[in-house]
Amino acid sequence: MIIFEVKDLVKYFGGLAAVNHVSFQVERGEIFGLIGPNGSGKTTMFNLISHFYTPTSGKIYFEGKDITGLKTHKICKLGIGRTFQVMKPLGRLSVLDNIIASSFLRYNNKKDARDHAIKCLEFCHLDHRNDILAKSLAIGERKRLEIARALATQPKLLLLDETSAGLNPSELNEAIDLIERIRDSGVTIIVVEHIMKVIMTISDRIHAINFGQTIAEGIPSEVANHPEVIEAYLGEEYAHSK
Ligand SMILES: Nc1ncnc2c1ncn2[C@@H]1O[C@H](COP(=O)(O)OP(=O)(O)OP(=O)(O)O)[C@@H](O)[C@H]1O
Ligand SMILES: [Mg+2]
């Protein structure tokens, strides 16, 4: 069953088509990977979905409803959560208070918001960090805080933008485990990631773009062997190393 769809989506910045007639559908419960070289339009796609930017043309559907043009907070309330590639924690608040702030989207009293935030904190293995300032977290934990804040809004669809960038190998395994546990809890995920180990391991299907345009879509092994994906993104070295 389709939970999410973008149809013929276009975004121009001046004369630059950052997203150029892209269409895809995401099944409920799937992990859908979005890959492409730097500047190919992945973050712009997320910014269009959550309406930080207005599309030049095209449509966005969530659970069968046309959500193109809805305000950002309404999109979040409908159940689309996201993380930011450039992380924006409320640095002078504690880790727990950062998550409580997101929790207020669903709860209107402090106790319920706090109880829910603690669950998200534990789920992301950040409970030992609850009362330190968000700005003093190391990168791996900051990435998990970003995910915990998005989870606190109780998304049905979660957009993850490079939440594994800068992690060490053991943190990467933890990140894979966390993303899989989120999916197992019933959340559909679109994941943008440059680290092939992560994207190839977790994605059910992958959509590849280059210069804002679709170049391939399929299961990971198909996309990894697609000539245009190898040429534009992975390089011959990756193809031969498998
Ligand atoms: N607000 C903006 N104004 C003008 N141009 C923009 C804006 N945001 C993005 N762009 C341009 O749109 C193109 C796509 O950028 P985008 O950030 O979506 O790429 P990306 O695929 O997320 O790249 P990366 O892998 O480096 O994060 C780039 O050429 C970028 O410079
Ligand atoms: Mg990006």
Domains of the chain, start order: 2-84+155-241 (3.40.50.300)
First to last CA, the chain: 33
How far is residue 178's CA from residue 170's CA, in Å, rounded to a whole number?
A: 12
Under 8 Å between Cβ of 10 and 55: yes
Ligand 2 center–CA 194 separation, angstroms? 10
Residue 242: per-residue pLDDT: 60
pLDDT value of position 148: 97
Backbone phi and psi for residue 231, each to the nearest 5 degrees, phi listed first: -70, -45
Ligand 1 mutation pick, 9, 11, 13, max ligand atoms within 8 A of CB: 13
83 and 163 Cβ atoms separated by less than 8 Å:
yes
pLDDT of residue 193: 94
Please answer whether residues 23 and 6 qualify as being in contact, where contact means their C-beta atoms are separated by less than 8 angstroms: yes
Q: Which residue has the higher pLDDT, 172 or 85?
A: 172
Element (H, E) at 80: strand 80-82
Specify the 3-state DSSP secondary structure of 205: strand
d(CA 100, CA 118): 8
Angstrom distance (rounded) from CA 80 to CA 64: 14
Sorting pLDDT into bands at 50, 70 and 90, what band is 86?
A: confident
Residues 6+ apart with CB under 8 A from 130: 94, 95, 96, 118, 121
Q: At residue 197, does pLDDT exceed 90? A: no
pTM confidence score: 0.95
Compute the distance between CA of residue 223 and CA of residue 231 in angstroms, rounded to an integer.
Answer: 12
As for ligand 1, residues whose beta carbon falls within 6 Å of it are 13, 16, 18, 36, 38-44, 85
Mean pLDDT of 167-175: 92
Protein residue closest via CA to atom 5 of ligand 1? 13
Find the ligand nearest to 19 CA: 1
Q: Is the pLDDT of residue 4 over 80?
A: yes
Distance 37 CA to ligand 2 centre (A): 9
Ligand nearest to the CA of 18: 1
CA angle 14, 10, 151 (to 5 degrees): 110
Give the per-residue pLDDT at 240.
Answer: 60
**Distance from the CA of 117 to the center of ligand 1, in angstroms?**
32
- The pLDDT > 70 percentage for the chain reads 97
How sure is the predictor about 49, in pLDDT bands with cuts at 50, 70 and 90? Answer: very high
241 pLDDT more than 70? no
Nearest protein CA to atom 30 of ligand 1, as residue: 39
Average pLDDT, the chain: 94
